[in-house]
Amino acid sequence: MQKKYKIWVDEAGRWPRIWPVVAGAFAFNSEHMPDKKLIDLLADSKSLTEKKREEIYSQIIEEASKEKPTIFFWAWVVDNFIIDEINIRQANKEAMRRALEEVLRKIPKENVSSVVIDWRDNYEFEELDKKPIYIIKWDTKVAEISGASIIAKVLRDKLMLVYDELYPNLWLKNHKWYGTKKHKEFLNDFSKVTWIHRKSYKPVAEILDKREKLLLHVCCAPDATIPLLDYKDKYDITCFWYDPNIHPEAEYKKRLKALKKVCKIEKIKIIEWDYNPEKFFEVTKGLESEPEKWRRCHKCYDFRLEETAKLAKELWIEKFTTTLSISPHKDVKKLFCIWEKIAKKYGNNFLKIDFRKNAWFERSVEYTKENKIYRQDYCGCVFSETYPNWINNKNTKK
């Protein structure tokens, strides 16, 4: 009669504020058990020294690699980006599911009597015919749970040591960021939050909430992509869409839809202002025939940025800036000078950022292609030389 197998599952790294959660799935080969000495060695991974855990980890791998293995196991890693996206509970479930899935490749599902998980999350898995059994803190009582715990913890610790070389000031090799006093004292400023931090965790989220607020006037979605990527960790950004110069209205709506898509991807707030093209024509009256980059364009920039500065003041946002500085066809220094006067008028700060640096255009093109974001082929103004049917339109306006 075919012997039944029991798979045991545990995780490591659920509570730290940094990087991944790792789940281990572990089963003894019920037809060919390992030596009793190894079984006796298995104990709660938390009570073992680091050296002892690694010795047992190596023995488990050796036993699992034999031609006739005595142990079946697997581990799976889910990183902090997924944790922030779906929450730690669901990320933990995914790590366990993938680890189970791999063990089930080695053990036919019909030969599995049960799956036992050390905690109380009450997950259900489509890969299993019946719901797992849930126990609490049995890793000191059951050798297989200890094995799953050791596999998960040692693998996570080894991964953390790799990042300790990249972030030596985070002391990742000590306590692996389980919220020690030293770690808490270190994380006292948003600039110390790294890309491996779990930004959805309250202690980290609270630090990020201390970021300075920035109102970012956006002229189009493609131009917003790289500023958001490069500055959203440094500033609490709100995008401000105020572009009544864009024609026709169908094009305006298409560009707004594209911006909303980018803001949704990057989890950025957006404020949509009124579409009032009559304001644009009023401000630029008498300058219709001027070439691009001259007074008509400056008037257009100014009234949109003045509206941005006013809104920033109303919302108590200290700083504002614009993606208009991205264009290589603009005199950025001159524009900065004009916009600083506007900021002074409303008592806030214009943030001088030249978004043309750091290969913004190439990165923006790559981002919009990857995320299928609409890219326009003219600036938006009806008087623009790149506007469709510009020649006919120019003759009409004379």
Please report, for the chain, the start and end positions of each structural domain, with discontinuous segments joined by +.
5-166, 211-397
pLDDT reported for residue 227: 93
Q: Is the CB of residue 9 less than 8 Å from the CB of residue 99?
A: yes
Task: Tell me how far apart the alpha carbons of residues 129 and 114 are, in angstroms, rounded to a whole number.
Answer: 9
Q: Is the pLDDT reported for residue 177 higher than 70?
A: no
Highest-confidence segment of 90-99, 300-309, 372-381, 382-391: 90-99
DSSP structure string for 170-200 = GTTTTGGGS--HHHHHH--SGGG--TTB-TT
Name the superfamily (CATH) of residues 5-166: Ribonuclease H-like superfamily/Ribonuclease H (3.30.420.10)
| Amino acid making up residue 175 | H
Q: Is the CB of residue 352 less than 8 Å from the CB of residue 341?
A: no
Query: 3-state DSSP call for residue 150?
Result: helix
Q: Is the CB of residue 342 less than 8 Å from the CB of residue 314?
A: no
Q: Is the pLDDT reported for residue 210 higher than 90?
A: no
Q: Which residues of 53-73 are buried (b: 16+ CB within 10 A; e: fewer)?
A: beebbebbeebbeeeebbbbb
The rounded percent of the chain whose pLDDT value lies above 70 is 95
C-alpha closest to that of 384 among 209, 251, 212: 251
Q: Is the pLDDT reported for residue 246 higher than 50?
A: yes
Q: What value does the mean pLDDT take over residues 59-86?
A: 96
| Amino acid making up residue 83 | I
pLDDT reported for residue 44: 65
Task: Tell me how far apart the alpha carbons of residues 223 and 174 are, in angstroms, rounded to a whole number.
Answer: 42
Q: Is the CB of residue 293 less than 8 Å from the CB of residue 256?
A: no
| Amino acid making up residue 304 | R
Burial of 23 per CB tally in 10 Å (0-12, 13-18, 19+): buried
C-alpha closest to that of 378 among 246, 211, 231: 246
pLDDT reported for residue 337: 86
Task: Tell me how far apart the alpha carbons of residues 298 and 108 are, in angstroms, rounded to a whole number.
Answer: 71
CATH number for the domain running over 211-397: 3.40.50.620
Task: Tell me how far apart the alpha carbons of residues 34 and 232 are, in angstroms, rounded to a whole number.
Answer: 52
Q: Is the pLDDT reported for residue 339 higher than 90?
A: no
Q: Is the CB of residue 355 less than 8 Å from the CB of residue 323?
A: yes
CA distances in angstroms from 235 to 208, 230, 241, 325, listed in the order given = 8, 10, 18, 18
Task: Tell me how far apart the alpha carbons of residues 253 and 75 are, in angstroms, rounded to a whole number.
Answer: 48
pLDDT reported for residue 45: 64
The rounded percent of the chain whose pLDDT value lies above 90 is 61
What are 137's two structure tokens? 């803190």
Q: Is the pLDDT reported for residue 391 higher than 60?
A: no
Domains 5-166 and 211-397 share a fold: no
Query: 3-state DSSP call for residue 368?
Result: helix
User: Lowest mean pLDDT: which of 36-45, 94-103, 177-186, 207-216?
Assistant: 177-186
Task: Tell me how far apart the alpha carbons of residues 321 and 335 are, in angstroms, rounded to a whole number.
Answer: 11
Q: Is the pLDDT reported for residue 180 higher than 90?
A: no
CA distances in angstroms from 31 to 5, 64, 116, 341, listed in the order given = 9, 14, 19, 81
User: Lowest mean pLDDT: which of 60-64, 164-168, 240-244, 258-262?
Assistant: 164-168
Residue carrying the six token digits 């864009």: 246
User: Lowest mean pLDDT: which of 85-89, 173-177, 276-280?
Assistant: 173-177
Beta bridge partners of residue 11, listed in sequence order: 23
Residue carrying the six token digits 């959203």: 232
Task: Tell me how far apart the alpha carbons of residues 115 and 151 are, in angstroms, rounded to a whole number.
Answer: 17
What are 111's two structure tokens? 């030969």
Backbone angles phi, psi at 386, to 5 degrees: -100, 0
Backbone angles phi, psi at 24, to 5 degrees: -120, 135
Question: Mean pLDDT in the chain?
Answer: 89
What predicted TM-score, i.e. pTM, was given to this entire model? 0.62
What are 49's two structure tokens? 């020294």
Total number of residues shown for the chain: 398
